[in-house]
Chain A
Amino acid sequence: MSIAIPSVARVANGAAPRRRPYGRRALAGYGFITPAIVFLIGFALLPFLFTVYVSLHDWNMLTAVTSMPFRGLDNYRYLIFEDPLFRQTFANTFVFAAGNVAISSLLALGVALLLNGEVRFPTFWRAVYFLPYVTSSVAISIVWANLYHPSYGLFNGILELFQLPGARFLASLETAMPSVIAVAVWHAVGYYMIIFLAGLQSIPLEVYEAAKVDGANAWHRFRSITLPLLRPTLLFVAVVNTLGSLQVFDLAFVLTNGGPVNATNTVVLYMYQTAFNFTRMGRASAMAVMLFLVILVITLVQLRLLREKE
């Protein structure tokens, strides 16, 4: 790539002198990218390095940046070995991510398959399933918290009409996390459905017709045509869904604020509490770094796993 650049530039510049292979247009190039690059360095790259730096220190945001006491890996050691709540939020986050990724991806694929064939009113169905995705997670969390309300909620009201026992949903240790996952699935399923639909529509119809002629039934066609050709889409959905799920904050904060007794507390929520309620920036930063590393590893593994099978 880098070898090709000078020669291309020379062709583009025509009679440009050899001493300046990039010419004045290089300056214009820098001009176009400079605002964005400066911002990315200032608001992403340096802050990232700063998080790593703070994670090795004790800091309450009041002492000067230059004089925060160095603690080495002590924040990490404390969180991993001495803070059961951190381990619990980590486990909660994984349970949430696993449940949400599996259920929302499968449902999204199912709906996309139903909508991909001949269907009346495709726009209507698509819109209905996609609708929750465009709405504010805070607004829908408030609505769902009320639907789940043990005494006044719609769900227990309906169960009572059928003379079924009510559930405590967000209020009980056992059902709180599944209830949060249900909201997350409801919120995001339409987004992944749209992506699956786009993937399905990029599979040429001729392949299916050829398979039909060869006598392959619907299940065979799904197994040996749709799934393999959908692999890039599956990969994208798996990665994006996992990335987003491991960072869950809004739902946990608004639906339950991590409760009951931290049953739905997640790493990002615990990080927020540690940083902004208890001003322990070092510890919060160490949490951020650890979750970041886990996300990075999982993403790389997923990319690897799904690529290999191609």
Chain B
Amino acid sequence: MRRKLRLTVVGIAILKYAGLALGAFFMLLPFAWMIVSSFMSAAEIMARPLRWLPAELQLRNYEALAAAIPLGNMYANSLIVTISITVGVLLTSSLAGYGFAKFHFPGRDILFVLVLATMMIPFFVVLIPIFFLVRQLGWMDSYLGLIVPNIVTAFGIFLMRQYMLTLPDELLDAARIDGASELAIYWRIALPLAGPALGALAILAFVYHWNSFLWPLVVIRSRELATIPIGLNSLRVYASSPEVINLQMAGAALAIIPVVAVFAVLQRHFVRGIALTGIKG
């Protein structure tokens, strides 16, 4: 009887790890093949039966890639744009979240309903007007055009407001009695205490805008201003002949590996951030 029970337990454990491993295999296979084939020659990619590894590492693929698209510019542009947007989002969200959570003023509740309402507006609905607006402002094909329309999000305001509600009023009032200005209280007390929410928002905003494609696609015209997704997309238009498959794979690898490295270091925070917003949202 007891032995039978133990056998079932072991059986279930085996099934469980087999399931997890099978899933993990499918999750990792595309990445593994991306890296392997980025070092293959065109002949090796075409070879049938399938070759699993390149006979020798074709570093030329990466050289050809660097000649085909402006890699340095792409990284720099993506960094500049994504960091600016993230800082903007953190600043505007925490300011407004703090204002909504900790102050009383006429119209506050109506204005907060307005924030919630704009949360319901998906980006594609306002794509054409924002494109038009940015063009009228003369921001086409510029950092300003990429950054400015994105530095405020209703979701960020909502998230920060929910978190700021939990800060104790006594602490803020004590600082007021000590004569601190409202801005100083926000900057020195509220902001440091809101660390976890700021971290979650920073990670979400960074990943979202680092990978963002539709908006840069309509705003950016010149090669020099291409972000990483835009630069990669320009490889695609050659259509996949074997001569460009290894190039495309090299490009995808260079786009993905830094993100994976950052993710490996910050994994815990990613997970906590997603979980936090999942429950709050």
Report which A residues bind B (CB closer than 8 A): 1-2, 5-6, 8-9, 12, 22, 25-33, 35-37, 39-48, 50-51, 54, 61, 107, 110-111, 114-115, 117, 119-120, 123, 125-132, 134-140, 142-147, 149, 151-152, 154, 157-158, 160-161, 186, 190-191, 194-195, 197-199, 202, 233, 236, 240, 243, 247, 249-250, 253-254, 268, 271-272, 275-276, 281, 284-285, 288-289, 291-292, 295-296, 299
B100 at the interface (CB under 8 A from A): yes
Is A143 in contact with B95, judged by CB distance below 8 angstroms?
Answer: no
A197 and B274 alpha carbons, distance in the complex (Å): 11
Which residues of B have CB within 8 Å of A30? 99, 105
Q: A25-B104, A233-B278 are in contact. Are A140 and B23 (CB under 8 A)?
A: no
Question: For the complex, would chain B's binding face be called helix, strand, loop or mixed by DSSP majority?
Answer: helix
Is B122 in contact with A243, judged by CB distance below 8 angstroms?
Answer: yes
Q: A36-B95, A142-B252 are in contact. Are A48 and B125 (CB under 8 A)?
A: yes
Is A154 in contact with B49, judged by CB distance below 8 angstroms?
Answer: no
- CB-based A-B contact count at 8 angstroms: 290
Question: For the complex, would chain A's binding face be called helix, strand, loop or mixed by DSSP majority?
Answer: helix
Report which B residues bind A (CB closer than 8 A): 16-17, 19-20, 23-24, 26-31, 33-34, 37, 45-46, 48-50, 92-93, 95-96, 98-100, 102-106, 108-109, 111, 114-115, 117-118, 120-133, 135, 149, 151-152, 154, 157, 169, 173, 182, 186, 207, 210-211, 213-214, 218, 228-229, 232-233, 235-236, 240, 242, 245, 248-249, 251-252, 255-256, 259-260, 263-264, 267-268, 270-271, 274-275, 278-279, 281
A59 and B268 alpha carbons, distance in the complex (Å): 49
A90 and B64 alpha carbons, distance in the complex (Å): 40
6 A–B contacts from the bound complex (CB under 8 Å):
A1-B109, A136-B211, A136-B213, A143-B31, A198-B279, A254-B213
Interface centre among B104, B106, B270 (most CB of A within 10 A): B104
A40 and B117 alpha carbons, distance in the complex (Å): 10
A243 and B171 alpha carbons, distance in the complex (Å): 40
Is A37 in contact with B50, judged by CB distance below 8 angstroms?
Answer: no
